[in-house]
Amino acid sequence: MTQLTVLIGTASWTDPEFIKAGWYPDEVKNDAEGRLRYYAEHFPMVEVNASFYALPTVETVGAWTRRTPDDFRFFVKAHQVISGHPSEPGRLPVPLRELPFTPDKRGRIRKPSQELRDAVIDSLLEALGPMGGKLGGVLLQLPPFVTAGEAQRAEVERIIARFAPVRVAVEFRHRSWVAPGERERTMDMLGARDAAYVCVDAPRIDAASAMPPIVEVTAPELAYLRLHGRNADTWHTGKTVAERYDHVYTRDEMAEWLDPVIAMAERAQEVAVVFNNNARDYALRNAADFRGMLAERAGR
């Protein structure tokens, strides 16, 4: 079988759940530099979740880059202003807070102006400069209230174009994007811009925010899979990420994704597989187990 490039890791290396679960040894659990070095010894990639809440500095990104092997990959989550989530203005650098936006009742950025959104994109790209080839791409995770439509599609296209030539993977969180008659338009839009459709594993429930397990490869360089767990009880009620994604995958559940991931890897140069079930050390355990299962299946 042709050599497949599948990078398996977790959504964050800094999650406090990992520390509480005891995954990090005592000598590094309280050391930011040591934790990243230790993580990178065990996994070849990671999703940067902190960038969703606050733009990183060039200095911070440079430190991350120096602490990881040459072939390590970072997939960086786009800031919430970029993706359209409500955001506290105070989370932005001072100059960006002066740019126009429509606030919600709590004073949060509800609808950023194009000027503000573009400025945040440009600031993120500038900060990510030190990563160089270690930057695997940017994850654009849309809010579940963003439904498919011409205006929404046009704005996603514009965001992808603004990030060019950095690769973008788009995670839709409302089923309207893959509904009959819309799925083809969604995939064509991503394919025309070499952006990756993010395949999702989520609870198998009839809810607009629980995306079905659709397998698509829309870009020749990158395919993407995010596994959120299958806890239907906490999908809408979990107050924290750990509560919402409180699920440890069984081997049978993970086995469902072995052949699809291999098929994705045969069509894309690189596949990112991210376990986001960040309760306790579930994601870390599942990522390690899935890597072993995939190696066994691919080598048969």
From the centroid of its chain, how far is CA 26? 28
Q: Do residues 169 and 196 lie in contact, with contact meaning Cβ atoms separated by under 8 Å?
A: yes
pLDDT of residue 119: 98
pLDDT for 118 beyond 60: yes
What local confidence, expressed as pLDDT, does residue 14 receive?
Answer: 94
Summarize the confidence of residues 90-98 as an average pLDDT.
95
CA dist 26 → 19, 21, 29, 35, 38 (Å): 9, 12, 5, 10, 12
Per-residue confidence band for 4, with pLDDT thresholds at 50, 70 and 90 = confident
**Backbone dihedral angles phi then psi of residue 287, each to the nearest 5 degrees:** -60, -45
- Report the CATH fold assignment for 6-298: TIM Barrel (3.20.20)
Residue 243 and residue 272 in contact, taking contact as beta carbons nearer than 8 Å: no
pTM of the model: 0.96
Cα 272 to chain centroid distance, Å, stands at 9
Contact 205, 231 (CB under 8 A): no
- Quickly state the pLDDT bin for 300 (edges 50, 70, 90): low
Is 180 within 8 Å of 215 (Cβ atoms)? Answer: no
pLDDT for position 1: 41
Q: Which residue has the tokens 């080839």?
A: 133
Cβ atoms of residues 142 and 124 within 8 Å: no
What number of residues does the chain have?
300
pLDDT at 2: 53
| All structural domains of the chain with their residue ranges | 6-298
Cβ pair 228, 243 in contact under 8 A: no
What's the pLDDT score for residue 21? Answer: 96
Neighbours of 101 (CB within 10 A): 20
